[in-house]
Amino acid sequence: MVTAVSHAPPAQPVAKTTATAPKKAAPSKPAAAAHADTVELSKTAQAALAALQEASETPAQTAKEASSGDVQAQHLLAQENAHKK
C-alpha cells in the first residue's frame, strides 16, 4: 500500500485589503522618498520646539511679530528695552 506524504509547511494566510489606492502615472520623486514617515510630537516636545524657534529668531523678526500684535514678541521687546537702560 502506498500513501502520499507531504513535508511542505502549511501556507500562511494573506491579509486582504479592503481599499486600494489609485495608482499615479509616473512618480516625479524616487520610490524611497514616496513613502515618507510622519512624526507626531508630544505637547511637551511641541512647546520645547516653539521655545527653541522663539529663542533663535532674529531681532528684526521679533520686532515684525510685535508690530503685528504678537504678545510674546511684545513682551520680549519690552524686556530687551528694560535691560538696555
- Tens-place pLDDT, residues 27-58: 555 555 567 888 888 999 999 998 898 889 89
Q: What is the pLDDT of residue 61?
A: 93
pLDDT band at 82 (very low <50, low <70, confident <90, very high): very high
C-alpha cell at 84: 538696555
Question: How many Cβ atoms are within 10 Å of 75's Cβ, its own excluded?
Answer: 11
Asked whether the predicted pLDDT for residue 21 surpasses 90, the reply is no
Rounded to two decimals, the pTM is: 0.43
CA distances from 35 to 24, 27, 28 (A): 14, 12, 13
Q: Is 1 helix (H, G, I), strand (E, B) or coil?
A: coil
